[in-house]
Chains A and B, each alone.
Chain A
Protein backbone atom coordinates (compact mmCIF):
# COMPACT_ATOMS: atom_id res chain seq x y z
CA UNK A 1 0.00 0.00 0.00
CA UNK A 2 1.47 3.37 -0.92
CA UNK A 3 1.06 6.53 1.16
CA UNK A 4 -1.88 7.83 -0.85
CA UNK A 5 -3.74 4.53 -0.52
CA UNK A 6 -2.93 4.50 3.19
CA UNK A 7 -4.37 7.99 3.57
CA UNK A 8 -7.48 6.99 1.64
CA UNK A 9 -7.98 3.78 3.64
CA UNK A 10 -9.83 5.70 6.36
CA UNK A 11 -7.49 4.53 9.11
CA UNK A 12 -6.39 8.10 9.89
CA UNK A 13 -9.96 9.16 10.67
CA UNK A 14 -10.22 6.19 13.02
CA UNK A 15 -6.93 7.22 14.59
CA UNK A 16 -8.15 10.75 15.25
CA UNK A 17 -11.38 9.43 16.78
CA UNK A 18 -9.43 6.92 18.91
CA UNK A 19 -11.15 3.92 17.38
CA UNK A 20 -7.95 1.92 16.95
CA UNK A 21 -6.31 -0.66 19.19
CA UNK A 22 -3.08 0.45 20.93
CA UNK A 23 -1.04 -1.64 18.47
CA UNK A 24 -2.76 -0.07 15.47
CA UNK A 25 -2.23 3.37 17.01
CA UNK A 26 1.50 2.75 17.36
CA UNK A 27 1.61 1.66 13.74
CA UNK A 28 -0.10 4.88 12.61
CA UNK A 29 2.32 6.92 14.72
CA UNK A 30 5.28 5.09 13.19
CA UNK A 31 4.04 5.80 9.67
CA UNK A 32 3.16 9.36 10.61
CA UNK A 33 6.74 9.95 11.75
CA UNK A 34 8.08 8.67 8.42
CA UNK A 35 5.71 10.46 6.04
CA UNK A 36 5.04 14.21 6.33
CA UNK A 37 2.00 13.86 4.07
CA UNK A 38 0.38 11.48 6.58
CA UNK A 39 1.11 13.98 9.34
CA UNK A 40 -0.41 16.78 7.25
CA UNK A 41 -3.49 14.68 6.56
CA UNK A 42 -4.02 13.95 10.27
CA UNK A 43 -3.78 17.69 10.95
CA UNK A 44 -6.38 18.35 8.25
CA UNK A 45 -8.73 15.71 9.64
CA UNK A 46 -8.45 17.25 13.09
CA UNK A 47 -9.02 20.74 11.73
CA UNK A 48 -12.14 19.59 9.85
CA UNK A 49 -13.42 17.81 12.95
CA UNK A 50 -12.92 20.99 14.96
CA UNK A 51 -14.66 23.18 12.40
CA UNK A 52 -17.51 20.71 12.17
CA UNK A 53 -17.92 20.56 15.94
CA UNK A 54 -17.84 24.34 16.05
CA UNK A 55 -20.68 24.45 13.59
CA UNK A 56 -22.80 22.45 16.05
CA UNK A 57 -21.69 24.33 19.13
CA UNK A 58 -24.12 25.02 21.96
CA UNK A 59 -22.83 27.52 24.53
CA UNK A 60 -22.19 26.24 28.04
CA UNK A 61 -24.32 28.06 30.57
CA UNK A 62 -22.47 30.33 32.99
CA UNK A 63 -23.93 28.17 35.74
CA UNK A 64 -22.30 25.07 34.27
CA UNK A 65 -18.96 26.82 33.93
CA UNK A 66 -18.96 27.97 37.52
CA UNK A 67 -20.03 24.47 38.64
CA UNK A 68 -16.99 23.07 36.90
CA UNK A 69 -14.71 25.67 38.50
CA UNK A 70 -16.19 25.05 41.95
CA UNK A 71 -15.68 21.35 41.48
CA UNK A 72 -12.01 21.64 40.58
CA UNK A 73 -11.34 24.18 43.30
CA UNK A 74 -12.86 21.69 45.73
CA UNK A 75 -10.56 19.03 44.31
CA UNK A 76 -7.56 21.32 44.71
CA UNK A 77 -8.38 21.98 48.35
CA UNK A 78 -8.93 18.31 49.04
CA UNK A 79 -5.59 17.56 47.54
CA UNK A 80 -3.93 20.19 49.71
CA UNK A 81 -5.72 19.05 52.82
CA UNK A 82 -4.90 15.43 52.37
CA UNK A 83 -2.32 14.18 54.83
CA UNK A 84 0.92 13.60 53.02
CA UNK A 85 1.14 10.21 51.40
CA UNK A 86 3.64 7.97 53.12
CA UNK A 87 7.05 8.01 51.52
CA UNK A 88 6.81 4.24 50.92
CA UNK A 89 3.57 4.57 49.04
CA UNK A 90 5.15 7.29 46.93
CA UNK A 91 8.23 5.19 46.30
CA UNK A 92 6.22 2.14 45.35
CA UNK A 93 4.04 4.18 43.01
CA UNK A 94 7.16 5.65 41.41
CA UNK A 95 8.78 2.22 41.25
CA UNK A 96 5.79 0.55 39.62
CA UNK A 97 5.50 3.39 37.15
CA UNK A 98 9.18 3.03 36.33
CA UNK A 99 8.78 -0.71 35.95
CA UNK A 100 5.87 -0.23 33.61
CA UNK A 101 7.86 2.25 31.52
CA UNK A 102 10.78 -0.17 31.33
CA UNK A 103 8.46 -2.99 30.31
CA UNK A 104 6.81 -0.83 27.68
CA UNK A 105 10.15 0.28 26.25
CA UNK A 106 11.33 -3.32 26.13
CA UNK A 107 8.20 -4.30 24.27
CA UNK A 108 8.67 -1.37 21.96
CA UNK A 109 12.36 -2.12 21.32
CA UNK A 110 11.57 -5.78 20.84
CA UNK A 111 8.89 -4.89 18.37
CA UNK A 112 11.23 -2.54 16.51
CA UNK A 113 13.91 -5.21 16.37
CA UNK A 114 11.46 -7.77 15.06
CA UNK A 115 10.34 -5.31 12.48
CA UNK A 116 13.94 -4.61 11.40
CA UNK A 117 14.64 -8.34 11.17
CA UNK A 118 11.59 -8.77 8.99
CA UNK A 119 12.76 -5.95 6.72
CA UNK A 120 16.24 -7.55 6.52
CA UNK A 121 14.81 -10.97 5.65
CA UNK A 122 12.66 -9.37 2.99
CA UNK A 123 15.72 -7.62 1.54
CA UNK A 124 17.81 -10.77 1.45
CA UNK A 125 14.89 -12.66 -0.09
CA UNK A 126 14.64 -9.98 -2.76
CA UNK A 127 18.35 -10.14 -3.51
CA UNK A 128 18.22 -13.97 -3.71
CA UNK A 129 15.36 -13.57 -6.12
CA UNK A 130 17.44 -11.15 -8.20
CA UNK A 131 20.40 -13.54 -8.21
CA UNK A 132 18.18 -16.38 -9.33
CA UNK A 133 16.70 -14.27 -12.13
CA UNK A 134 20.19 -13.34 -13.32
CA UNK A 135 21.29 -17.01 -13.25
CA UNK A 136 18.22 -17.98 -15.27
CA UNK A 137 18.96 -15.22 -17.81
CA UNK A 138 22.54 -16.45 -18.14
CA UNK A 139 21.34 -20.02 -18.52
CA UNK A 140 18.90 -19.01 -21.26
CA UNK A 141 21.75 -17.25 -23.08
CA UNK A 142 23.95 -20.33 -22.81
CA UNK A 143 21.12 -22.52 -24.07
CA UNK A 144 20.65 -20.21 -27.05
CA UNK A 145 24.40 -20.20 -27.77
CA UNK A 146 24.43 -23.95 -27.57
CA UNK A 147 21.48 -24.39 -29.92
CA UNK A 148 23.17 -22.06 -32.42
CA UNK A 149 26.49 -23.81 -32.11
CA UNK A 150 24.96 -27.25 -32.54
CA UNK A 151 22.37 -26.41 -35.23
CA UNK A 152 22.55 -28.42 -38.46
CA UNK A 153 22.28 -25.38 -40.79
CA UNK A 154 25.18 -23.68 -39.10
CA UNK A 155 28.69 -23.98 -40.37
CA UNK A 156 31.44 -23.41 -37.87
CA UNK A 157 34.42 -21.43 -39.16
CA UNK A 158 37.41 -21.13 -36.88
CA UNK A 159 39.40 -17.95 -37.34
CA UNK A 160 43.03 -18.13 -36.29
CA UNK A 161 45.77 -15.63 -35.79
CA UNK A 162 47.95 -14.98 -38.79
CA UNK A 163 50.87 -14.94 -36.42
CA UNK A 164 51.35 -18.62 -35.65
CA UNK A 165 53.04 -17.78 -32.36
CA UNK A 166 49.84 -16.27 -31.01
CA UNK A 167 46.96 -18.40 -29.68
CA UNK A 168 44.34 -15.75 -30.44
CA UNK A 169 41.21 -17.13 -32.13
CA UNK A 170 37.51 -16.55 -32.75
CA UNK A 171 34.68 -18.68 -34.11
CA UNK A 172 32.04 -17.81 -36.71
CA UNK A 173 28.74 -19.67 -36.87
CA UNK A 174 27.27 -19.02 -40.29
CA UNK A 175 23.76 -20.15 -41.15
CA UNK A 176 23.80 -21.38 -44.72
CA UNK A 177 20.01 -21.08 -45.07
CA UNK A 178 19.39 -17.66 -43.51
CA UNK A 179 22.89 -16.17 -43.84
CA UNK A 180 22.82 -15.26 -40.13
CA UNK A 181 26.24 -14.77 -38.61
CA UNK A 182 27.09 -15.37 -34.96
CA UNK A 183 30.50 -14.64 -33.54
CA UNK A 184 32.18 -16.16 -30.53
CA UNK A 185 35.12 -13.90 -29.73
CA UNK A 186 36.66 -16.45 -27.34
CA UNK A 187 40.18 -15.22 -26.70
CA UNK A 188 40.53 -11.84 -28.38
CA UNK A 189 42.60 -9.50 -26.21
CA UNK A 190 41.00 -6.42 -24.59
CA UNK A 191 41.42 -3.19 -26.57
CA UNK A 192 41.97 0.36 -25.39
CA UNK A 193 38.87 2.56 -25.31
CA UNK A 194 39.62 4.32 -28.58
CA UNK A 195 39.75 1.07 -30.56
CA UNK A 196 37.14 -1.51 -31.61
CA UNK A 197 37.17 -4.83 -33.41
CA UNK A 198 35.50 -4.99 -36.83
CA UNK A 199 34.32 -8.16 -38.55
CA UNK A 200 34.52 -8.51 -42.32
CA UNK A 201 33.46 -11.21 -44.69
CA UNK A 202 35.18 -11.67 -48.01
CA UNK A 203 32.96 -12.10 -51.06
CA UNK A 204 34.40 -12.29 -54.59
CA UNK A 205 37.71 -11.22 -53.10
CA UNK A 206 36.28 -8.00 -51.58
CA UNK A 207 35.92 -7.31 -47.86
CA UNK A 208 32.39 -6.41 -46.73
CA UNK A 209 31.69 -4.81 -43.35
CA UNK A 210 29.91 -7.17 -40.94
CA UNK A 211 29.81 -4.91 -37.91
CA UNK A 212 31.93 -3.58 -35.08
CA UNK A 213 32.09 -4.97 -31.56
CA UNK A 214 33.87 -4.73 -28.25
CA UNK A 215 35.36 -7.87 -26.90
CA UNK A 216 32.73 -9.61 -24.83
CA UNK A 217 32.54 -13.26 -23.98
CA UNK A 218 28.91 -13.49 -25.10
CA UNK A 219 27.94 -14.84 -28.49
CA UNK A 220 27.40 -11.85 -30.81
CA UNK A 221 24.95 -11.64 -33.67
CA UNK A 222 26.62 -9.90 -36.59
CA UNK A 223 25.39 -8.67 -40.00
CA UNK A 224 24.21 -11.32 -42.45
CA UNK A 225 26.76 -12.66 -44.91
CA UNK A 226 25.79 -13.95 -48.37
CA UNK A 227 28.13 -16.39 -50.03
CA UNK A 228 31.14 -15.59 -47.85
CA UNK A 229 34.49 -17.04 -48.82
CA UNK A 230 36.25 -16.04 -45.62
CA UNK A 231 35.80 -14.05 -42.39
CA UNK A 232 38.34 -11.73 -40.83
CA UNK A 233 38.60 -9.42 -37.82
CA UNK A 234 40.64 -6.22 -37.82
CA UNK A 235 41.31 -3.64 -35.15
CA UNK A 236 39.93 -0.22 -36.14
CA UNK A 237 39.37 3.16 -34.54
CA UNK A 238 36.22 3.26 -32.40
CA UNK A 239 33.20 3.48 -34.70
CA UNK A 240 34.72 1.30 -37.39
CA UNK A 241 36.20 1.90 -40.81
CA UNK A 242 34.71 1.66 -44.36
CA UNK A 243 37.67 -0.45 -45.45
CA UNK A 244 39.70 -2.88 -43.39
CA UNK A 245 43.16 -1.90 -42.17
CA UNK A 246 44.90 -5.02 -43.35
CA UNK A 247 47.97 -4.49 -41.19
CA UNK A 248 45.82 -4.74 -38.10
CA UNK A 249 44.10 -7.99 -39.03
CA UNK A 250 43.87 -10.18 -35.95
CA UNK A 251 42.31 -13.40 -37.15
CA UNK A 252 41.23 -14.95 -40.46
CA UNK A 253 39.15 -18.02 -41.24
CA UNK A 254 38.40 -19.44 -44.68
CA UNK A 255 35.40 -21.54 -45.61
Chain B
Protein backbone atom coordinates (compact mmCIF):
# COMPACT_ATOMS: atom_id res chain seq x y z
CA UNK B 1 0.00 0.00 0.00
CA UNK B 2 2.72 2.39 1.00
CA UNK B 3 4.52 1.69 -2.26
CA UNK B 4 1.37 2.45 -4.24
CA UNK B 5 0.98 5.71 -2.38
CA UNK B 6 4.58 6.72 -3.07
CA UNK B 7 4.19 5.93 -6.75
CA UNK B 8 0.94 7.92 -6.77
CA UNK B 9 2.68 10.89 -5.19
CA UNK B 10 5.51 10.93 -7.72
CA UNK B 11 2.97 10.79 -10.51
CA UNK B 12 0.97 13.56 -8.93
CA UNK B 13 4.00 15.80 -8.54
CA UNK B 14 4.67 15.48 -12.25
CA UNK B 15 1.05 16.39 -12.94
CA UNK B 16 1.36 19.39 -10.68
CA UNK B 17 4.31 20.58 -12.76
CA UNK B 18 2.04 20.20 -15.81
CA UNK B 19 3.75 17.18 -17.31
CA UNK B 20 1.03 15.83 -19.60
CA UNK B 21 2.72 12.46 -20.04
CA UNK B 22 2.08 11.91 -16.32
CA UNK B 23 -1.65 12.39 -16.91
CA UNK B 24 -1.46 9.78 -19.68
CA UNK B 25 0.10 7.38 -17.18
CA UNK B 26 -2.59 8.19 -14.66
CA UNK B 27 -5.27 7.35 -17.24
CA UNK B 28 -3.53 4.04 -17.97
CA UNK B 29 -3.40 3.33 -14.25
CA UNK B 30 -6.86 4.31 -13.04
CA UNK B 31 -8.83 5.34 -16.14
CA UNK B 32 -10.53 1.98 -16.61
CA UNK B 33 -11.67 1.78 -12.99
CA UNK B 34 -13.14 5.30 -13.15
CA UNK B 35 -14.72 4.58 -16.51
CA UNK B 36 -16.48 1.58 -14.99
CA UNK B 37 -17.89 3.72 -12.21
CA UNK B 38 -19.09 6.46 -14.55
CA UNK B 39 -20.74 3.81 -16.74
CA UNK B 40 -22.61 2.63 -13.68
CA UNK B 41 -24.21 6.06 -13.41
CA UNK B 42 -24.65 7.12 -17.05
CA UNK B 43 -25.67 4.88 -19.93
CA UNK B 44 -25.22 7.11 -22.92
CA UNK B 45 -21.65 6.39 -24.22
CA UNK B 46 -21.21 9.98 -25.37
CA UNK B 47 -22.12 11.31 -21.97
CA UNK B 48 -19.77 8.84 -20.33
CA UNK B 49 -16.94 10.07 -22.54
CA UNK B 50 -17.74 13.71 -21.82
CA UNK B 51 -17.83 13.12 -18.10
CA UNK B 52 -14.58 11.16 -18.21
CA UNK B 53 -12.92 13.94 -20.15
CA UNK B 54 -14.25 16.61 -17.78
CA UNK B 55 -13.11 14.55 -14.82
CA UNK B 56 -9.53 14.21 -16.02
CA UNK B 57 -9.40 17.88 -16.92
CA UNK B 58 -10.61 18.66 -13.42
CA UNK B 59 -7.99 16.34 -11.94
CA UNK B 60 -5.37 18.09 -14.07
CA UNK B 61 -6.49 21.58 -13.06
CA UNK B 62 -7.04 20.85 -9.39
CA UNK B 63 -4.10 18.56 -8.72
CA UNK B 64 -2.77 21.02 -6.12
CA UNK B 65 -5.88 20.63 -3.98
CA UNK B 66 -5.27 16.92 -3.46
CA UNK B 67 -4.09 16.25 0.10
CA UNK B 68 -2.35 12.88 0.50
CA UNK B 69 -3.01 12.99 4.27
CA UNK B 70 -6.73 12.69 3.61
CA UNK B 71 -6.68 9.64 1.42
CA UNK B 72 -5.44 7.85 -1.64
CA UNK B 73 -5.17 9.55 -4.99
CA UNK B 74 -7.55 6.99 -6.45
CA UNK B 75 -10.22 7.81 -3.88
CA UNK B 76 -9.89 11.51 -4.62
CA UNK B 77 -10.20 10.85 -8.37
CA UNK B 78 -13.12 8.50 -7.87
CA UNK B 79 -15.01 11.13 -5.90
CA UNK B 80 -14.37 13.72 -8.63
CA UNK B 81 -15.56 11.40 -11.41
CA UNK B 82 -18.57 10.18 -9.48
CA UNK B 83 -19.67 13.70 -8.60
CA UNK B 84 -19.22 14.84 -12.20
CA UNK B 85 -21.39 11.95 -13.35
CA UNK B 86 -24.07 12.59 -10.73
CA UNK B 87 -24.10 16.32 -11.57
CA UNK B 88 -24.57 15.46 -15.20
CA UNK B 89 -27.41 13.13 -14.37
CA UNK B 90 -29.03 15.74 -12.17
CA UNK B 91 -28.81 18.53 -14.78
CA UNK B 92 -30.17 16.25 -17.48
CA UNK B 93 -32.99 15.30 -15.19
CA UNK B 94 -33.71 18.93 -14.39
CA UNK B 95 -33.76 19.82 -18.06
CA UNK B 96 -36.20 17.05 -18.78
CA UNK B 97 -38.49 17.87 -15.92
CA UNK B 98 -37.74 21.58 -15.52
CA UNK B 99 -38.42 21.15 -11.83
CA UNK B 100 -36.31 20.99 -8.75
CA UNK B 101 -35.81 17.39 -7.74
CA UNK B 102 -34.39 15.75 -4.75
CA UNK B 103 -31.40 13.50 -4.89
CA UNK B 104 -33.85 10.61 -4.44
CA UNK B 105 -35.15 11.13 -7.94
CA UNK B 106 -31.66 11.34 -9.30
CA UNK B 107 -30.58 8.13 -7.73
CA UNK B 108 -33.83 6.51 -8.79
CA UNK B 109 -32.99 7.55 -12.28
CA UNK B 110 -29.63 5.86 -11.97
CA UNK B 111 -31.59 2.70 -11.37
CA UNK B 112 -33.94 3.33 -14.25
CA UNK B 113 -31.06 3.83 -16.63
CA UNK B 114 -29.54 0.60 -15.47
CA UNK B 115 -32.53 -1.70 -15.32
CA UNK B 116 -31.57 -3.20 -18.64
CA UNK B 117 -27.87 -3.11 -17.93
CA UNK B 118 -28.09 -4.71 -14.53
CA UNK B 119 -27.30 -8.11 -15.99
CA UNK B 120 -23.97 -9.17 -14.69
CA UNK B 121 -21.39 -8.56 -17.32
CA UNK B 122 -18.18 -9.35 -15.52
CA UNK B 123 -16.90 -12.74 -14.61
CA UNK B 124 -15.40 -11.16 -11.51
CA UNK B 125 -18.74 -9.73 -10.45
CA UNK B 126 -20.46 -13.04 -11.08
CA UNK B 127 -17.90 -14.63 -8.85
CA UNK B 128 -18.51 -12.02 -6.18
CA UNK B 129 -22.25 -12.49 -6.30
CA UNK B 130 -21.77 -16.03 -5.15
CA UNK B 131 -19.89 -14.67 -2.16
CA UNK B 132 -22.17 -11.83 -1.13
CA UNK B 133 -25.56 -12.57 0.28
CA UNK B 134 -28.91 -11.31 -0.92
CA UNK B 135 -29.05 -7.56 -1.32
CA UNK B 136 -25.50 -6.91 -0.13
CA UNK B 137 -24.13 -6.47 -3.62
CA UNK B 138 -26.96 -4.13 -4.53
CA UNK B 139 -26.31 -2.04 -1.42
CA UNK B 140 -22.58 -1.83 -2.03
CA UNK B 141 -23.13 -0.91 -5.63
CA UNK B 142 -25.50 1.93 -4.77
CA UNK B 143 -23.42 3.14 -1.85
CA UNK B 144 -20.03 2.99 -3.55
CA UNK B 145 -20.87 4.19 -7.01
CA UNK B 146 -24.29 5.67 -7.30
CA UNK B 147 -24.13 8.42 -4.77
CA UNK B 148 -26.62 6.99 -2.34
CA UNK B 149 -26.20 7.97 1.28
CA UNK B 150 -26.95 5.43 3.97
CA UNK B 151 -30.09 7.39 4.83
CA UNK B 152 -31.32 7.33 1.23
CA UNK B 153 -30.76 3.59 1.04
CA UNK B 154 -32.75 3.20 4.22
CA UNK B 155 -35.62 5.27 2.83
CA UNK B 156 -35.62 3.60 -0.54
CA UNK B 157 -35.34 0.01 0.59
CA UNK B 158 -37.55 0.64 3.64
CA UNK B 159 -35.11 -0.93 6.06
CA UNK B 160 -33.90 0.81 9.24
CA UNK B 161 -30.78 3.00 9.00
CA UNK B 162 -28.95 0.85 11.54
CA UNK B 163 -29.61 -2.25 9.43
CA UNK B 164 -28.35 -0.50 6.30
CA UNK B 165 -25.14 0.44 8.09
CA UNK B 166 -24.65 -3.10 9.39
CA UNK B 167 -25.38 -4.64 5.99
CA UNK B 168 -22.95 -2.32 4.21
CA UNK B 169 -20.31 -2.98 6.81
CA UNK B 170 -20.76 -6.75 6.59
CA UNK B 171 -20.63 -6.55 2.82
CA UNK B 172 -17.43 -4.51 2.92
CA UNK B 173 -15.83 -7.02 5.26
CA UNK B 174 -16.92 -9.83 2.91
CA UNK B 175 -15.43 -7.91 0.01
CA UNK B 176 -12.16 -7.55 1.87
CA UNK B 177 -12.00 -11.27 2.54
CA UNK B 178 -12.77 -11.87 -1.11
CA UNK B 179 -9.98 -9.59 -2.30
CA UNK B 180 -7.49 -11.07 0.15
CA UNK B 181 -8.37 -14.66 -0.87
CA UNK B 182 -8.23 -13.85 -4.54
Residues of A within 8 A of B (CB): 8-10, 13-14, 16-19, 29, 42-61, 64-65, 67-69, 71-73, 75-76
Q: CB-defined interface of B142-182 with A at 8 Å, one 1/0 digit per residue? A: 01110001100000000000000100110010011001000
Residues of B within 8 A of A (CB): 1, 18, 20, 23-24, 27, 31-37, 39-40, 49, 52-53, 56-57, 60-61, 70-72, 74-75, 78-79, 83, 122, 124-125, 128, 140, 143-145, 149-150, 165, 168-169, 172, 175-176, 179
Q: Given A17-B143, A46-B72, check contact A57 B53 (CB 8 Å).
A: no
Contact B75 A46, beta carbon cutoff 8 Å: yes
Smallest Cβ-Cβ distance to A79: which chain B residue: B18
21 contacting pairs across A/B (C-beta < 8 A): A9-B165, A17-B143, A44-B176, A45-B172, A47-B179, A49-B144, A50-B33, A50-B75, A51-B175, A52-B140, A53-B37, A54-B32, A55-B122, A65-B27, A67-B53, A69-B20, A71-B57, A72-B23, A72-B56, A73-B20, A75-B57
Smallest Cβ-Cβ distance to B83: which chain A residue: A18
Contact A68 B57, beta carbon cutoff 8 Å: yes
Smallest distance from the beta carbon of B172 to chain A beta carbons, Å?
6
Contact A72 B179, beta carbon cutoff 8 Å: no
The CA-CA distance from A7 to B49 in the complex, in Å, is 37
Give the 6 A-B CB pairs with smallest separation, nearest first: A57-B32, A56-B36, A10-B165, A60-B31, A53-B33, A51-B179
Smallest distance from the beta carbon of B141 to chain A beta carbons, Å?
9
B128 contacts which chain A residues (CB < 8 A)?
55
Contact B57 A65, beta carbon cutoff 8 Å: no
B175 contacts which chain A residues (CB < 8 A)?
48, 51-52
Smallest Cβ-Cβ distance to A65: which chain B residue: B27
Contact B71 A10, beta carbon cutoff 8 Å: no
Q: Given A16-B75, A48-B175, A72-B20, check contact A8 B33 (CB 8 Å).
A: no
Smallest Cβ-Cβ distance to B28: which chain A residue: A65
The CA-CA distance from A181 to B108 in the complex, in Å, is 81
Smallest Cβ-Cβ distance to A19: which chain B residue: B149
Out of A47, A58, A76, name the residue touching B1 (CB < 8 Å). A47
Contact A58 B32, beta carbon cutoff 8 Å: yes
Contact B36 A57, beta carbon cutoff 8 Å: yes
Contact A49 B35, beta carbon cutoff 8 Å: no
